[in-house]
A and B are shown apart, each in its own frame.
Chain A
Amino acid sequence: MSALGNFAGGFVTVVAVTAGAFFFLAGTAGLLRFPDPLTRLHALTKADNLGLGLIVLGLLPRATGWLDGLKLIAVWLLAQLVGATVTQIIARVARRDGGTA
């Protein structure tokens, strides 16, 4: 029973972390290839949102104790909040600079 649980947890971890790493790859590829700051910012937020979220999901089965799991989720929520707000701020700076270019 516990071996099955371990196997299932390991499976979730590998799949989720791989998917998260893939989104980091996609985000970085966009960051490198897109032509202007706003589209680059868009690519960056995909890595941020999906990449980090999937990685946290993958690490939850391995958390040692409920406090660690809670901290993982707290880090993810904080990163979401901060990421969304900072993206808005950067976008406004980009629009201000682009508009006057």
Chain B
Amino acid sequence: MTVGFAFDAGLAVLVLGVAVWTIAARAAFAAVVGFVTFGLLLALVWVRLAAVDVALTEAAIGSGVTGAVLIGAAARLRPTEAASAAERPGAAMRLAAGALSVLVALALAALVLFPPDPAPTLAPQAALHLAALDVGNPVTAVLLAYRAVDTLLEKVVLLLALLGVWSLAPDRFWGGAAVPAVRPDSGGALVFLARVLPPVGIVVGVYILWVGAIAPGGAFQGGAILAAMWILSMMTGLTGAPEIGRLPLRLLLVAGPAAFLLVGLAGFAVADGFLSYPAAIAKSLIIAIEAALTLSIAVILGLLVAGPPSREPRHRDAGHRPAGHGEAGR
């Protein structure tokens, strides 16, 4: 029993314990705290599995931004929490769900513990072409070069998710801004945190984006960190959520996928096909695409957490009734 094995075993037990606690928690807020805790611990697990890129993503998005979304949802659902608690699924349903989960876990465990021999892997091929791309991080090479079309589609899916969230707003609020459900206070240590942390967060986010070419990091993680800083400012009232009808905001949202698509289409003209990069400028293209993606991802994630607009837009054409402060929050 080596020290490493003992450490991993302890970590696994801790993670499982927190997971069980999260499921067993009664109140929504307690469950969300458990979920975020679970996510942060899972980042440690990923580091132990030598998947540092995934660890960064887990810490930034899996527990950070997702935790904020869940908290927002729990806050909006608080008035109905008592009623919905009374409608818990019956024992038979929960037993079936438990059995299904155990089955999936056993299947995954079998795949990992008894892989076919030799285990299928594309790692050697991936490493083979890194030098041609002049990119040091194989994960970035896979995301932005070998399987770039998947990444492009993922970003479009993010945009569609945002549209889905926006569509929850009543028609008259379309184009307006989201108002926080709880009125933020105007002083105190929380606002101090929201003033001091974002500059640091921006530096760290840009650093993570930049270092993604040669070490674990990249656009998604950097964008998530930037989004978390923006969400921090929004939820403490330092900045308001932007109005979703404004053109500059919409341009920012599509900047990433659009740049990606443009480079892809240009591949027909200057290289071998869709999303094929000319060898000489491949690295610069990848960095440029990642920068645009980071911006878009940050804005999309921030707006996802801010939620659907809950106030009428202020900048409307003449002839409509004047925008009032409306039903601020619900």
Binding site for B on A (CB under 8 A): 78, 81-82, 85-86, 88-89, 92
| A89 and B197 contact, CB distance less than 8 A | no
The 3 closest A-B pairs by CB, nearest first: A88-B189, A85-B193, A89-B189
Instruction: Give the complex CA separation of A85 and B189 in angstroms.
Output: 6
| A85 and B196 contact, CB distance less than 8 A | yes
> Of residues 186 to 208 in B, which have CB atoms within 8 Å of A's CB atoms?
188-190, 192-193, 196-197, 200
Instruction: Give the complex CA separation of A58 and B263 in angstroms.
Output: 48
- Shortest A62–chain B CB gap in Å is 17
The A/B interface has a contact count, at CB < 8 Å, of 16
Question: B residues within 8 A CB of A82?
Answer: 193, 197
Binding site for A on B (CB under 8 A): 188-190, 192-193, 196-197, 200
| B200 and A89 contact, CB distance less than 8 A | no
Residue from B189, B190, B200 whose CB has the most chain A CB atoms within 10 Å: B189
| A86 and B193 contact, CB distance less than 8 A | yes
Question: B residues within 8 A CB of A85?
Answer: 189, 192-193, 196
| A89 and B196 contact, CB distance less than 8 A | no
- Shortest B322–chain A CB gap in Å is 39
Instruction: Give the complex CA separation of A60 and B197 in angstroms.
Output: 25
Residue from A78, A85, A86 whose CB has the most chain B CB atoms within 10 Å: A85
Question: B residues within 8 A CB of A81?
Answer: 196
Instruction: Give the complex CA separation of A85 and B236 in angstroms.
Output: 14
Question: B residues within 8 A CB of A88?
Answer: 189
A-B pairs with beta carbons under 8 Å apart, 16 shown: A78-B200, A81-B196, A82-B193, A82-B197, A85-B189, A85-B192, A85-B193, A85-B196, A86-B193, A88-B189, A89-B188, A89-B189, A89-B190, A89-B193, A92-B188, A92-B189
Closest A residue, CB atoms, query B193: A85
Closest A residue, CB atoms, query B197: A82
Question: B residues within 8 A CB of A89?
Answer: 188-190, 193
Closest B residue, CB atoms, query A87: B189
Instruction: Give the complex CA separation of A14 and B32 in angstroms.
Output: 38
Question: A residues within 8 A CB of B193?
Answer: 82, 85-86, 89
Question: B residues within 8 A CB of A86?
Answer: 193
Instruction: Give the complex CA separation of A92 and B189 in angstroms.
Output: 9
Question: A residues within 8 A CB of B197?
Answer: 82
Instruction: Give the complex CA separation of A78 and B192 in angstroms.
Output: 14
Instruction: Give the complex CA separation of A25 and B200 in angstroms.
Output: 30
Question: B residues within 8 A CB of A92?
Answer: 188-189
Closest B residue, CB atoms, query A91: B189
- Shortest B284–chain A CB gap in Å is 23
Closest A residue, CB atoms, query B192: A85
- Shortest A90–chain B CB gap in Å is 9
Instruction: Give the complex CA separation of A97 and B193 in angstroms.
Output: 21
In the complex, given contacts A78-B200, A85-B196, A86-B193, what are 9 additional A-B residue pairs having Cβ atoms less than 8 angstroms apart? A81-B196, A82-B193, A82-B197, A85-B189, A85-B192, A85-B193, A89-B189, A89-B190, A89-B193
Instruction: Give the complex CA separation of A86 and B189 in angstroms.
Output: 8
- Shortest B99–chain A CB gap in Å is 37
Closest B residue, CB atoms, query A90: B189
Closest A residue, CB atoms, query B203: A74
Question: A residues within 8 A CB of B188?
Answer: 89, 92
Instruction: Give the complex CA separation of A99 and B234 in angstroms.
Output: 29
Closest A residue, CB atoms, query B200: A78
Instruction: Give the complex CA separation of A78 and B198 in angstroms.
Output: 12
Closest A residue, CB atoms, query B189: A88
Closest B residue, CB atoms, query A89: B189
- Shortest B290–chain A CB gap in Å is 21
- Shortest A7–chain B CB gap in Å is 22
Question: A residues within 8 A CB of B189?
Answer: 85, 88-89, 92
Instruction: Give the complex CA separation of A85 and B197 in angstroms.
Output: 10
Instruction: Give the complex CA separation of A88 and B188 in angstroms.
Output: 9
- Shortest B167–chain A CB gap in Å is 35
Question: A residues within 8 A CB of B196?
Answer: 81, 85
Instruction: Give the complex CA separation of A81 and B189 in angstroms.
Output: 12
- Shortest B225–chain A CB gap in Å is 12
